[in-house]
Chains A and B, each alone.
Chain A
Amino acid sequence: GAVVSQHPSWVICKSGTSVKIECRSLDFQATTMFWYRQFPKQSLMLMATSNEGSKATYEQGVEKDKFLINHASLTLSTLTVTSAHPEDSSFYICSARGSVGPGANVLTFGAGSRLTVL
């Protein structure tokens, strides 16, 4: 079946630094990837949709200059939280969809990355 890997699974950083989270589709080519943020005991909020080779589409209220998304290949999308602050501490989850193979026309979620900003 389709597998999506996120790395790192958890990260602690100092305020003001930038953190990069990777989302990889391991056994399929992901034409579309979605990035979600989940605060403790809350639901998942869609941050942005990224299509391979094009700019990400951000949801209303999500700062594109703060949350940089790059989907440079069919198996990798990255989310960079720039100049992170404590309020950015959250659980970030990606999901991926392919057009052929095991990931075709289904959404596969990564295991999530927990970011803690001190």
Chain B
Amino acid sequence: SQQGEEDPQALSIQEGENATMNCSYKTSINNLQWYRQNSGRGLVHLILIRSNEREKHSGRLRVTLDTSKKSSSLLITASRAADTASYFCASSGGSNYKLTFGKGTLLTVNP
């Protein structure tokens, strides 16, 4: 079932600016992951944050997790035109690796 909500649904920025995307979920989780999808293509795993972590970094990516608010954010710093894609959060509540995806944010980075 679909439970994640992301905002904004679409985000358009200039190259070099930072992009922030938010995600909310409804049930308790073991971890939350962020994926990237170029138009009509498969998913690329970006980063995973566990329920006992509050912040995680990977290159230009910064993810936060607030389990009290059941929300997460993905920050992409110094954006590039190549970052243009849809970004999805996906929550996992058990050990069976079953993911529930959010609705996604379409990010457009203008050169």
Contact = CB atoms under 8 A, between A and B. Distances in A.
Contact of A42 (B4, B96, B98, B103): B103
Interface stretch (B37-45, B53-61, B69-77): B37-45
A114 B1 CA distance: 22
Interface residues of A, number: 25
Nearest to A108: B45
A68 interface: no
**A-side binding surface: helix, strand, loop or mixed?**
strand
A107 B42 contact: no
Contacts of A109: 35, 42-45
Interface residues of B, number: 21
B101 interface: yes
B99 A110 contact: no
Contact of A107 (B97, B103, B104, B106): B97
A114 B98 CA distance: 22
Interface string A15-38: 000000000000000001010100
B102 A107 contact: no
Interface of A: 6, 32, 34, 36, 41-46, 49, 59-60, 91, 93, 95, 97, 105-107, 109-112, 114
A23 to B, nearest CB: 11
A114 B44 CA distance: 17
Nearest to B95: A105
A43 B1 contact: no
A91 B1 CA distance: 17
Contacts of A111: 41-42
B101 A43 contact: yes
A106 B106 CA distance: 25
